Amino acid sequence: MVYRLTRSRTPWIRWLLIRSFIFIFAVDLADAEESDPDHYPHFNAFFTRALRASARTHAPPPTLLSPVDGTLVSFGQASLSNLISVKGQAFSWNGLIGEPSAEDGLFNPEALFFNCYLAPRDYHRVHMPSAGRLTRAEWIPGRFRSVRPNRVARRPETLAQNERVLLTFATECGPLLVILVAARLVGGIETPWCPARLSWCDTRQAFRQALAGGIGSHFERGDEIGRFNYGSSVLVLAPGTAWQPEHELGKILVGEGLARPRSKV
């Protein structure tokens, strides 16, 4: 029902959904490629709107870029046994990403993680933090609970229980893992090479094969690698031996510096 409603081209439905959403969540369209809300064919087109080409400036390389507009709610180091998330709660890292392959090198000895929350008013496309080649694309089915920071603080295991897509890239500074976590309502995660899964008609195997079709593709810094049709958090994982945090907790924009390379002694 939500899928059909958010893609309805009926003028009054489209107008009501978009205008109500703008009012409730104080959405600012100043940076959008299309700033007139009446020019979107349906609500989902508005929700997944593109930015103007000049709306964001990328930090100079080799800085690791923020993949999203959102709020950096936590960052730190993670071992294979746990991930310290919001307000110090810990939950199984293996539960979040499944069984990591030994060659990933992310936890050698520890991984550096960043947890970015996208509020409803935010821009909902995900961009490449660093140039690299896609080596793994995995879908893990799950629930569609809210991922608001206050909810995750009470139930940190939510990130490891919701539906998510794992994208692993090989970069000059080692492996890079970007995790797209779905949330309430449609929760549709899509990539440039794979449309969002429709639970009532897509088989699991078919979606996994479509997602794996992007393996081997190369992406430059800032390239779009995914988007959310509703609700989201994005986690970025990189080797702690290669990177150190550069951004403080709080609001963050696409292209801002997330981490910088560690100085070689």
Determine whether 54 is an active site residue. Answer: no
Catalytic annotation on 104? Answer: no
Task: Point out the catalytic residue in the list 66, 69, 122, 130.
Answer: 69
Using one digit for the tens of pLDDT, what is the confidence trace for 202-247?
667 888 888 999 999 999 999 999 998 876 889 999 888 888 898 9
Assess whether 92 carries a catalytic annotation: no
pLDDT (tens digit per residue) in 40-76: 999 999 999 999 988 999 999 899 999 999 999 888 8
Rounded Cα–Cα distance for residues 157 and 86 (Å)? 11
* Catalytic pick among 85, 232, 233, 247: 232
- Domain spans of the chain, in order of start: 1-55, 56-261
Model confidence, pTM = 0.89
And the tokens for 147? Answer: 């991922």
pLDDT tens figures, 66-108: 999 999 988 888 777 666 554 455 666 777 787 666 446 787 7
Strands (E), the chain: 64-65, 70-78, 83-84, 90-91, 111-118, 125-127, 132-140, 164-171, 174-182, 189-190, 218-219, 224-228, 232-239, 243-245, 250-252, 257-261
Considering 85, 104, 122, 127, which one is annotated as catalytic? 127
